[in-house]
Amino acid sequence: MFSIPTWTKLLFLTAACCTLFACGKANDQAPALGSSSNHPDNWLTGHRIAYQQNRDQCRECHGDITNSENKGGITMVGCFNASRNGITCHAIVVATGQPHGPRNVPHVLPFKNGAVHGTAAKSDFVYCQSCHGTSGGPGSNPRFNVRIGSLKEGCEDCHKPFTAHPPLSGSTSGWREHSSAGSMGNNCTLCHGVDLTGAGGVGPGCNSCHTKMPLGTVPMIGACVSCHANPPRDRSPVFGNHSTHNALTGVKKVCRTCHEGAGNGTTKHNDGTKDVSFAVAYNAKTGVATRNVDGSCSNVSCHGGITTPAWGGALASGCQSCHTEGTALNNPQYNSYYSGRHTKHLVDFGLQCADCHDMTVAVGGAKHFSGLGTSGFELAPSATIKVPGYTSTTPSCSPGQVPAAGTYSIGRCHDNKDW
C-alpha cells in the first residue's frame, strides 16, 4: 500500500487551509455582518449609503461592481447578476446597453414618490420603459411590471396593470393631467393604438373624449376645438352668443376668458356642468365679473359694468349699452366717457356716438374691441373722431364747415368751438 508521510499530510492540509482562508476571510473594510454572516436585513436600502461613503469597501469581495461583465468577485454576487427574492438588483439599460448601476443611475434614489418620478415619466414615458417596462413600440401594450430594486411588480406595485400612470378616481376619462405630458405621439401610442384611436390598445382612443379631433392626431393644449365646435354652436339659450364673442380680438378661441379654471386638465372640465367664471382681467371697475342665475352677466369690463341681457339675447343698439357717462378717467368705469361736452351733444341734441366717432378706424392694429382684457384703450378714442374741421391739438371742431354733401350725417352744426 502506498503511504503518505506525516509531514506531507501536514503540508497539504496547511496549504488547503491557507487557500480557504484567502478566499473566505472576513473583509475588515466591509460593514458589519448580521447574525447569519450576511449583510444586515436592511441592506437593500442601506448599501446605497455605504457605497457612497466608501465604494472601495465593496470591491474586495464583489470585484469591480461598476462593470456589467463582472460576476461578483469571490462572492459571485455582482450588482448585475444578483437577485434578492427573485428581484433583479441592477439591470442593463436596454436602450444604451450600459449598466444601470450604482454609479450611473439616471435618476435620484429613492424614486417612488409620484411627485418626483411623475414629472420625469410624463416627459418621456418611453425612456422609463427601457428599464421598467416590457419591450414593444406603438400598439404593443407593454406591461410596466419589470422587477427591479425593491419593486416586486415594477411600476404596477402602485399602478394598475397596463396603466403606468394614475387614473382619474371615479371617472372613465383617464389621466386628467395627460394634457401636460410630453411626446404624446410616442408615449400615448404605446397603449392607445398606433393612430391613437384605441384600436388594438388597452387604453381608449383619444377621440373617445376629443370627439372633434381628426384620427391619428394629437390634441393640442388649449385647443378646445378637439371636443367642441369652433366656436360652440349658437342655439339659444344653451350656446347663445359664442359667435359674437369669438369674433373679438383677444377672445377668439380663448375659452378661459369666460370659463376660467374649467379648461382641460382641471376638475371642472367635462364634469357635466357648463362652468362660467371670468378671468380677473375682465372685472369691471365697480366689481367682480359674475354670471347671474338668469343667464345675464354683471360687472364685466367689456360691457362697461352694465348688466347684459340673458345669454342668447341681443344687446340694445347704441354705444351706451356698454359705455356710461363718467366724471373723470376710469370713474365709474374703465370705459366711461367724461371729457368735454358729451352730455350736451348726446342729451340736449340727441346725437349718437357714431355721429362723431368712426368705429372702423384702426391704428397700428388697434381698433374698437381690441385689448378687451386690459383696463385701458389700445386705440385712443380721439383717433376715431370723424367730424370735419376737428383739431386734436386744441381740441376743437367746426362741423359747420361741411366740404361735401353726405360726408357728415347730421349736416351743418356750428362754427369752430373748443371741446
pLDDT above 70 (res 49): no
Report yes or no on 359 lying in a domain.
no
Domain co-membership, 281 together with 217 = no
Domain co-membership, 284 together with 207 = no
Domain co-membership, 146 together with 196 = yes
User: Smallest Cα–Cα separation from 215: which of 201, 204, 205, 225?
Assistant: 205
pLDDT above 90 (res 163): no
What are the grid coordinates assigned to 140, written together?
404593443
Domain co-membership, 55 together with 77 = yes
Are 404 and 419 in contact, with CB atoms under 8 Å apart? Answer: no
pLDDT band at 141 (very low <50, low <70, confident <90, very high): very high
Domain co-membership, 237 together with 288 = yes
The predicted model gives 305-312 an average pLDDT of 92
Report yes or no on 203 lying in a domain.
yes
Distance in angstroms (rounded) separating the CA atoms of residues 388 and 355: 11
Domain co-membership, 194 together with 257 = no
Report yes or no on 349 lying in a domain.
no
* Total of domains in the chain: 3
Q: What is the model's pLDDT at position 264?
A: 66
Domain co-membership, 21 together with 75 = yes
Domain co-membership, 311 together with 287 = yes
Q: Is the pTM of this model over 0.85?
A: no
Report yes or no on 383 lying in a domain.
no
pLDDT, tens only, 281-299: 999 999 999 999 998 999 9
Report yes or no on 109 lying in a domain.
no
pLDDT, tens only, 172-205: 444 656 767 777 778 888 988 888 888 888 888 8
Report yes or no on 410 lying in a domain.
no
Domain hosting residue 279, numbered range: 228-344
Domain co-membership, 52 together with 17 = yes
The predicted model gives 313-332 an average pLDDT of 90
Q: What is the dihedral of CA 259, 264, 266, 271, to 10 degrees?
A: 80
Report yes or no on 106 lying in a domain.
no
Report yes or no on 369 lying in a domain.
no
Domain co-membership, 268 together with 327 = yes
Residue bearing the bigger pLDDT, 305 or 11: 305
Q: What is the model's pLDDT at position 177?
A: 64
- CA–CA distance from 13 to each of 21, 22, 25 (Å)? 12, 14, 17
Residue bearing the bigger pLDDT, 39 or 359: 359
* Final residue in a domain of this structure, among 344, 369, 398: 344
pLDDT, tens only, 208-240: 777 777 766 766 656 677 777 666 765 444 557
Domain co-membership, 198 together with 256 = no
User: Smallest Cα–Cα separation from 314: which of 250, 259, 236?
Assistant: 236
* Final residue in a domain of this structure, among 64, 85, 106: 85
Domain co-membership, 207 together with 236 = no
* Final residue in a domain of this structure, among 70, 85, 100: 85
The predicted model gives 387-402 an average pLDDT of 79
